[in-house]
Structure 1
Amino acid sequence: MSFVTLVRHGQANSSAREEESYDQLSPLGWQQSEWLGGYFRQSGERFARVYTGTLRRHIETAEGIAPDCAEKPIRDERLNEMTYFYLAMALERQHGIPMPQDREQFIAHMPVLLEHWQGNRIDNPGETFADFETRVRAVLTEIAAGEGRALVVTSGGLIGMAMRIVMRLDVPAMAHACLAIENSSLHRIQPLSTGLALTQFNAIPHLDTPERQHARSHL
């Protein structure tokens, strides 16, 4: 068993209101990813395995990081994000709850969306909350059981679900975890005989200097 380092992708197209146009790194997202790669190299961090989802923003973030690893990244669709925009549009259409237009609205919207989704109150969600939880648990368990340190580039919602699984969070607490997760942040999980344990959450050592404070982002 080995440590698993989860990385949220760099800033994507935050002005988008649907999945396809959101799924690409912004210039800031590329810079965040490259700085993270520089931090790994400076600290001597090497990975035996690298995984990404199949989304463009995951693949581009991994390219920006350019981690020190002999093997090519493994692309696994189980590491893809929940379909937030699809769910938000369904929530608006079915329940009259409008899609958020800024971060403050997004903060209020996320727990409402997750509670409706978990409670099966969104018809035809594409993927149920229970199925999302099952696939995240399965892929994390599988990666954690492998040999050597693993780097996993994924999305905030999946990392939030990982926190729910590891820390046994209820849905409101999971929503708050999701909202806290910054672009290109680090989260580390250690396998123990009793299960997976959280050892680091939402770290941004590559941005934690005065001259890079401007590069911190959530959306």
Structure 2
Amino acid sequence: MNKNIQLQDLGLKGYKETWEYQEELFKGVVDIKIRNRREDANLATPNYFLLVEHPHVYTLGKSGDLSNLLLSEKQLEAKGATFYKINRGGDITYHGPGQIVGYPIVDLENFFTDIHKYLRFLEEVIILTLEEYGIACGRSEGETGVWLDVGTPFARKICAMGVRASRWVTMHGFALNVNADLGYFDNIIPCGIRGKAVTSLNVELGVEKVNEQEVKEKILKHFADLFAAKFVTS
């Protein structure tokens, strides 16, 4: 069981090329697993963790409702945003500058074979990270992601999540609002959930800008602890 995870910080990168890169890494891991099964081999499967920031983009999950995007094609262009229908779970979400996006492409057979546990662990990584900033947050029953003031009229989402898994290999992941322009969320019904707001870490802390590198380091520390993993850089 390979518990090393290859860490790659891609910086600012377009959604489409990042998605294609994810698919390439994902296929590479799956192909090794297929070969192991067919040839009774015992080749180690690699794990990856991509950190990235995207230009303004809206993505719709495979079970999502297109009506939750409230912009026409021309309005998207006017806002400098793009749109993609993709193969993760969940409905519609926004990615953009000031957001930390994490894509773990891991073989869960190196860790544990439980998708529900995997999602809860992803949420816990973000919960523990935000607690370091004094932010009390948690889960909302039946709604994946990380929320503040759950069960009150002021409930608001700070981190969206959506994953795909095949043969226990994961892709896609989480998007944490750190210094995000929340105005872009006004153009969608986030995750298809009406009547609930979205927030960002800098807003909750009442500061203009949060150190994103520091947040990334905290995320990686908690991920490594929860998954009993070790990050390596090539």
The TM-score bracket by the shorter chain reads under 0.3
TM-score by length of 2: 0.26
More helix by share: 1
TM-score by length of 1: 0.27
More strand by share: 2
Higher RCO (Cα < 8 Å, 6 or more apart): 1
**Bigger Cα Rg:** 2
